Structure 1
Amino acid sequence: MRLDLADFQLFICIIEAGSITGGAIKANLALSSASERLRHMEADVGVPLLVRHPRGVTPTEAGETLAKYARQIIYQHELLKTELKNFTSGMRGTLRLYANTSALTEFLPSKIASWLKTHPDIHIDLEERSSTDIIKSISAGLGEAGIVSNAVDPQTLKLEPLVDDHLSLIIPINHRLNGEQAVFLKDIIHEPFVGFYPGSALQEHINIHASSMGYELIVRIRMNTFEGMCEMVANGIGLGILPEVIADKYQTSFKYKKLTLKDEWAKRQLCITYQCWEDLSSAMKNLLNYLKLT
């Protein structure tokens, strides 16, 4: 095949726009030029890449495969440009590390700061993602490593435990359980909850264990942030389950009580995740070893 970077970029623009016209605009090309390039791509590949509809286009199975690898190639190209620019500007490397909210909030800041002090030529691109998104990104080759909860399915990735990340229950201050210090999920299974949107690794983790008891949580409202959950609980909307460190953080801003969850599944851990240790850069290995040892 003779596909080049410009072909990949145009194809991704078309897929994201849902039409050849929209893709041409996003790629800053004339429609005729984009259409001609697309024809050459399909001729070069030997199979159709798009299904044409009256209102746009969708990728064929071959098109979906091309889009998957095109995104990786574009990402690697951008990473290469950044790395080379870093060398010319006096920097000697940039590490991309993904982290879930719990890790980014409490575990990483002091450790990353300490490590960077002893590695003045290294820069870190620290990006907050959900544990599920981190697994997907690293599996797709869009990053070297991340910090996730062991509640997530690692697929083919490696997981190495770092630190405890236990879950807590938060309740309104006037709740009937206000005098308790610790409960099992079965004690509160019939209560209304403030949950997270579908796709949240934490919410799926909780749902699985509720289902194992033959129940489905009663979710009054779903939030997409821990702060939003804490505010809802403080206003009496329902109960919430979240990492203990996050519950401690927002307890100064919102009035609620924190209880220990006695279930074994609530005793989670933060873990390092990556594809293959030997394939990691030397700087990333150094950083991850530091995180494991401190």
Structure 2
Amino acid sequence: MHVDLIDLRLFLKIIESGNITAGASRSHLSLASASARVRAMEGSLGIALLERGRRGVTPTPAGKALAQHARLIQQQVERMQFDLADYAKGFKGQVRLLCNTSALTEYLPELLADFLVKNPAIDIDLEEHPSLRILHAVRQGAADIGIISDAVDATGLQTRPFRDDPLTLIVPLGHPLSSLGSARFTETLDYEYVGLSINSAMGIYLEEQALHSGKRLRIRVRAEGYDGVMRMVARGAGVSIVPQASIDRWPSRQAFNSIALSDPWAVRKLLLCATDFSALPGYAKALLEALGTGEAPEGNSGTLSWPDAS
């Protein structure tokens, strides 16, 4: 199927006016050219898009579907033109940054806010994804910079340390696991969990770890963020696993017990990654520098180093 933007705009004009001649005129095309374009679209699709009658034309069911898609595409093109207008003037840059749940909730808000204040000509397109999806996106050129867990294989990408990010088990006071100095993840799977949103990177990660052990998480309820998770655990709704950084900033530490996880994947570090740090655009390098030199928030025990990109 070959359809260009002129075809789509023409088709919408024809449907709006109910007449090929009027649609051609509104699209600044000759009637012959407009008719040829419609026939080419129908031939490419192998289906009629318009029903011709004495009083004009009406869209077939396929034509109605095409019109719906054409309107969406036209809206996206208009949005793209608006967004790119500033870039054409030479004073705008946008960095696409993908990160996991811990980075998004615990480490980035203040860093990114400070960066945006200092760099009004740079925007950040920020999305949360599991580390494996981030790796794929960075490798495919769909993101400038990623923040991933060191538990995934980043072969082929350049990486730099971002934060230490150990995961910790939290349980209500008096819970059967409370007396343990440390615990294995498998020991927790017989108990009910307070989970994160099913679409969160951390939620997906923990579900995968449970499946690797041959079990599933017993989720009683899900919360949208770590604060909600800890508040529910403190009230006895279940156990959960959160970054140690979340516990460090929790105002009422006596509301639940925290227990170290002994699983190697829980003692993790977060890494900055890119296909080639030196090849990043200037505005992306500026963000990379800010992420690499930003101080850990107060109360966060994570460490940071900034080695050469090798």
**Would you say same fold, with TM above 0.5?**
yes
For 2:122, the equivalent position in structure 1 comes to 123
Measure how far apart 1:140 and its partner are: 7.6
Alignment of 1:1-294 (within 5 A): 3-4=4-5, 7=8, 31-32=15-16, 40=37, 43=40, 47-48=44-45, 57=65, 77-84=81-88, 87=91, 93-109=93-109, 111-112=111-112, 122-125=121-124, 127=126, 129-131=128-130, 143-150=143-150, 160-252=160-252, 255-275=255-275, 277=277, 280-292=280-292
* Cα drift, residue 145 of structure 1: 2.4
Q: Output the CA distance in 1 between the equivalents of 2:289 and 2:168.
A: 29
Contact (CA 8 Å) 1:95, 1:125: kept in 2 or not? yes
Taking the aligned partners of 1:41 and 1:276, their CA distance within structure 2 comes to: 46
Q: Indicate how the Cα distance of structure 1 residues 97 and 42 shifts in structure 2: closer, same or farther if over 3 A, else same.
A: farther
- Judged with a 3 Å threshold, the aligned counterparts in structure 2 of structure 1 residues 86 and 241 are, in CA distance, closer, same or farther, namely farther
Deviation for aligned residue 1:2: 7.5
Residue type at the aligned position of 1:244? Q
Contact 1:162 1:271 in 2 (8 A): yes
Q: Are the equivalent residues in 2 in contact too, given 1:83–1:94 (CA < 8 A)? A: no
Shift of 1:53: 5.8
Closer/same/farther in 2, CA of residues 104 and 223 from structure 1, 3 Å limit: closer
CA RMSD of aligned residues (A): 4.8
Partners of 2:148 and 2:127 in 1: how far apart?
10
Give the C-alpha shift of residue 78 in structure 1. Answer: 4.5
Structure-2 change in CA distance of 1:32 and 1:116 (3 Å): closer
Moved more, 177-186 or 163-172: 177-186
Structure 1 residues 231 and 290, CA gap change in structure 2 (3 angstroms): closer
Change (3 A) 1:209 1:102: closer
List per-residue Cα deviations over 1:166-210 (Å, max 9, x = no partner): 111111122122233321112222111112343433223222322
Q: Which amino acid aligns with 2:122?
A: H
Task: Tell me the CA shift for residue 247 of structure 1.
Answer: 3.0
Q: Which residue of 2 aligns with 1:15?
A: none
- Indicate how the Cα distance of structure 1 residues 80 and 126 shifts in structure 2: closer, same or farther if over 3 A, else same: closer
Structure 1 Cα separation of the partners of residues 233 and 215 of structure 2:
21
Q: Secondary structure, in 3 states, of the residue corresponding to 1:81? A: helix
In the superposition, the TM-score normalised over structure 2's length comes to 0.62
Instruction: Please report how far the alpha carbon of residue 281 of structure 1 lies from its aligned counterpart in structure 2 after TM superposition.
Output: 0.9
Structure 1 residues 211-260: Cα deviation after superposition (integer angstroms, max 9, x where no partner): 23222222222333222222221221111112221233345389222221
Which runs of 5 or more residues in structure 1 are unaligned?
11-19
Report the Cα distance in structure 1 between the residues aligned to 2:126 and 2:158, rounded to whole angstroms: 20
**Are the aligned partners of 2:194 and 2:223 in contact in 1 as well (CA < 8 Å)?**
yes
Q: Bigger radius of gyration, 1 or 2? A: 2
For 1:77 and 1:141, the matched residues in 2 are separated by: 22
Structure 1 residues 105 and 208, CA gap change in structure 2 (3 angstroms): closer
| TM-fit CA distance, 1:5 | 8.7
* Cα separation, 2, equivalents of 1:227 and 1:5: 50
SS of structure 2 residue aligned to 1:125:
strand
For 1:207, the aligned partner's letter is E
Could you report, residue by residue, the CA deviation over 1:123-165 in whole angstroms, capped at 9, with x for unpaired residues?
A: 3436353446766876786653243445678799765542222
Q: Secondary structure at the match of 1:147?
A: strand
1:193 match: secondary structure: strand
- Asked whether the 8 Å contact 1:168–1:260 carries over to 2, the reply is yes
- The equivalent residue for 2:32 is none
Residue 81 of structure 1 aligns with an amino acid whose one-letter code is A
8 Å contact 1:210–1:217 — kept in the other structure? Answer: yes
Q: Aligned equivalents of 2:154 and 2:43: distance in 1? A: 35
Q: CA deviation at 1:264?
A: 0.4
